[in-house]
Chains A and B, each alone.
Chain A
Amino acid sequence: MSRAAILTCKNLTIGYQNQKTITREISKGLNLQLNRGELVCLVGPNGSGKSTLIRTLTGIQPPLSGEVLLLDKKIADHRSEEKAKTMSVVLTTPVQAGYMTAFDIVALGRFPHTNWVGRLTEDDTEIILSAIASVGAGDLTYRFIHEMSDGERQKVMIARALAQEPVLMVLDEPTAFLDIPHKIETMRILRSVARSTSKAILLSTHDLNLAIRSADRLWIIDQHGALITGIPEDLVLSGIFGSAFGIHGASFDPVRGEFTIPIEKKGTFALRARKSVERIWTWYALERIGYLPADGERGDITVTIRKVDGKPVWEIRTDTVARECSSLAELIETISANDREG
């Protein structure tokens, strides 16, 4: 075993056991490893067992067989305080507490380190403030948690997990309630924490695109509980996403690294333009209304983008129509009108 390993699973079977007789295996034969300074994203379709795996790895739920080793010691054998100094968590359930400032919440992270009344030493205070600063929440320090937005609250909860000073942080869907800029911000924070403090970070997420762009490694669980690991780019090239998430009505685009809405083909287009942002978004717009790029020089429709006085002008040509449009809306309207007539 490599010396950098913080968490290791050996031949792990996860699932539920009800009334001692009924056993529901979700995934078996798992051999996984989490290393220092590594950000790992756990992805998988709904109901694939992401939460069960997280619960088993954090010791909330016992494995059906096999073992989870935290720093070379079985997770169940750790004393609760010792475990808390090794691993901290950020849960999905939103925290609802009144009259608590961000400082108070983050200070709770010092729980396993303080004395019986929870008195904060000068060192504790510094650790708390630097945890808050490292997630970029310095201006929130003395604000009440119930006055914060979801994104701000998530930062505070991550700071709390940091203040616990673990070597491993486990986050259950930390980006779930956030808008896209805040999702990206959260991932950026986590990645920089993993790099700068050489902690291991494991998080589960539904944001595949974000996971592919930011994780050092991905753990993918498919619908049947099979787990595939690897670095994101290898996994994209192997085409595993399409089969792991195989649902009708969504297809994985290996170029963009995300799921796209399948196109109902209406025709083909030829696009004549220089490499530019306008070219990309004209391409997307045509795809959206059901036109795919033609193989040769000629498609069912031909669109040329020209610049007139610095502004783009779209020239459309079909068998029956030829006109110039000043916006993509006009272009799409022209094509749709043409479709209805033809």
Chain B
Amino acid sequence: MKPGEIGMRERFRSLTAGPALALCIERFRKMTFGIPLALCVLGVLFVLDIMLGSVNIPLDSLLAIPTGGEVKETWATIFWYWRLPKAITAVFAGAALALSGLLMQTFFRNPLADPFILGISSGASVGVALVMMSAGFCGIGAVFAGLGFLGDVSIAFASVLGSLAVLLLILLISAKIQSSTTILVLGIMVSYISGAIVTILLQFADQSSMHSYSFWTFGSFSGVTWSQLPVLAFFLTAGFGVSFFLTKSLNALLLGEQYAVSMGMDYKKIKNAIIVNTAVMAGVVTAFCGPIGFLGVAVPHFCRSLFVTADHRILVPACVIVGGIIALATDIISHLPGTDLVLPLNAITALFGAPVVIWVIVRGTRFGRGVTT
């Protein structure tokens, strides 16, 4: 710093104290008011998600269960083996999907990018379709059905393998290609190819494997057991951690690749970190919960307008919390409390998500990000 510049800075100190203070207060409000409020909503919905369902558990009994109080045995069973893992899964999955959607939207500078834009979910669906169809085709389907838990595991395994295959392909290509737009188009093309393969596989499938495949595509937070939960939690927590480390670079990327590089960002390293992080988060969620749509594209937009900022230091934690909130809310609605019916989760997320996307596009023409290229 040159002596002359210090003088100039001091001259402006008095002029700018007012607005700077206003800015500090605004940031303070967002971090100390908005985020805790969202956390409270998350807590309430978490409890509601456990309480409500085909069998409603009253709040006082619910509180008695973990503390070992006297409650109906069926309620305790429902709580431990059904509702609690489901609610935890929903929070993790919703947060991961929202976060990977945010990473993709910023990286591609495209408001319609979602966690699956790289073709992750289509890779997973090919894996899952292959396992289900081959099982049905070779007559091992009965074995799978009998094994139950192992059947779930093999589906999750196939899904991870499928996502990984696509991820490796994208990484290989993106090592040669700098442009994020090209990677985007490649991801979409991979989705088309995967879709075609699944369609062909379905032609050879029997009724039951077709049914179980389409059931998988509905998406659900209910399939995760206590033994699987640590795996899910480990990978997703790691993903959240990496995202926090990426905030500074994500902010720089808002100005585009060239500006980010000119400010000293290591583009290659950050690009790989973003792609791998998104693929792992979206891949793990897809493996355990199926391809859940719309959450990933809608929640980041929701957070941006809720917190009126594009700053990732606020958006990353906001997406984790709001993602969890929306996932719990859609899960509660899909279970139609008080009835025995369960609607497909994807139907609910689409019913909620599509209007959000429409709203983003329509209003984007006047303010906000709009549809940028």
Which single member of B8, B12, B262, B310 contacts A97 (CB below 8 Å)? B310
Which single member of A98, A116, A144, A147 contacts B248 (CB below 8 Å)? A116
**Chain A residues near B148 (CB-CB < 8 A):** none
Distance to closest chain A CB from B114 (angstroms): 18
| Minimum CB distance partner of A119 in chain B | B313
Which single member of B20, B248, B311, B369 contacts A96 (CB below 8 Å)? B369
| Minimum CB distance partner of A161 in chain B | B262
Distance to closest chain A CB from B139 (angstroms): 54
A-B contact count (CB 8 A): 121
A80 in contact with B255 given A99-B304, A126-B12 (CB within 8 Å): no
Check A58 against B262 for contact (C-beta < 8 Å): yes
A197 in contact with B259 given A80-B265, A103-B23, A118-B251 (CB within 8 Å): no
A99 in contact with B309 given A80-B264, A111-B264, A146-B367 (CB within 8 Å): yes
| Distance in angstroms between the alpha carbons of A93 and B258 in the assembled complex | 10
**Chain B residues near A111 (CB-CB < 8 A):** 248, 252, 263-265
| Minimum CB distance partner of B312 in chain A | A118
A108 in contact with B251 given A84-B263, A133-B12 (CB within 8 Å): yes
Q: Is A89 an interface residue (CB 8 A)?
A: yes
| Minimum CB distance partner of A88 in chain B | B262
| Distance in angstroms between the alpha carbons of A239 and B155 in the assembled complex | 77
A133 in contact with B16 given A96-B369, A104-B310 (CB within 8 Å): yes
| Minimum CB distance partner of B247 in chain A | A117
Check B258 against A196 for contact (C-beta < 8 Å): no
| Minimum CB distance partner of B109 in chain A | A96
| Distance in angstroms between the alpha carbons of A103 and B311 in the assembled complex | 11
| Minimum CB distance partner of B369 in chain A | A98
Interface of B, secondary structure class, is helix
| Minimum CB distance partner of B307 in chain A | A99
Please encode chain B, from 309 to 333, with 1 for each CB lying within 8 Å of some chain A CB and 0 for all others: 1110100000000000000000000
Q: Is A141 an interface residue (CB 8 A)?
A: yes
**Chain B residues near A290 (CB-CB < 8 A):** none
**Chain B residues near A144 (CB-CB < 8 A):** 367
Which single member of A82, A98, A129 contacts B16 (CB below 8 Å)? A129
**Chain B residues near A196 (CB-CB < 8 A):** 4
| Distance in angstroms between the alpha carbons of A126 and B313 in the assembled complex | 20
**Chain B residues near A281 (CB-CB < 8 A):** none
**Chain A residues near B263 (CB-CB < 8 A):** 84, 88, 108-109, 111-112, 164
Please encode chain A, from 102 to 143, with 1 for each CB lying within 8 Å of some chain B CB and 0 for all others: 011100110110101110000001110110011000100110
Check A84 against B262 for contact (C-beta < 8 Å): yes
**Chain B residues near A198 (CB-CB < 8 A):** 2
Q: Is B254 an interface residue (CB 8 A)?
A: yes
| Distance in angstroms between the alpha carbons of A133 and B10 in the assembled complex | 12
| Distance in angstroms between the alpha carbons of A142 and B261 in the assembled complex | 26
Please encode chain A, from 72 to 83, with 1 for each CB lying within 8 Å of some chain B CB and 0 for all others: 000000001111
Q: Is B22 an interface residue (CB 8 A)?
A: yes
Please encode chain B, from 16 to 38, with 1 for each CB lying within 8 Å of some chain A CB and 0 for all others: 10011011000000000000000
Which single member of A80, A93, A141 contacts B261 (CB below 8 Å)? A80
Check B370 against A98 for contact (C-beta < 8 Å): yes
**Chain A residues near B256 (CB-CB < 8 A):** 91, 93, 95
A108 in contact with B255 given A98-B310, A99-B308 (CB within 8 Å): yes
Distance to closest chain A CB from B133 (angstroms): 44
Q: Is B372 an interface residue (CB 8 A)?
A: yes
Among A87, A88, A125, A129, residue most surrounded by chain B Cβ atoms (within 10 Å): A129
Q: Which of A182-219 contact B (CB under 8 A)?
A: 196-198
Seen from chain A, the residues whose Cβ lies within 8 Å of a Cβ on chain B are 58, 60, 80-85, 87-89, 91, 93, 95-100, 103-105, 108-109, 111-112, 114, 116-118, 125-127, 129-130, 133-134, 138, 141-142, 144, 146-147, 164, 196-198
- Other CB < 8 Å A-B pairs besides A83-B264, A104-B309, A141-B16, 12 of them? A80-B261, A88-B262, A89-B262, A95-B256, A96-B372, A99-B309, A108-B254, A116-B245, A116-B248, A133-B15, A142-B19, A164-B263
14 contacts across the A-B interface (CB closer than 8 A): A80-B261, A84-B263, A89-B259, A93-B256, A98-B367, A99-B305, A100-B310, A104-B310, A117-B244, A117-B313, A125-B20, A127-B9, A142-B22, A197-B2
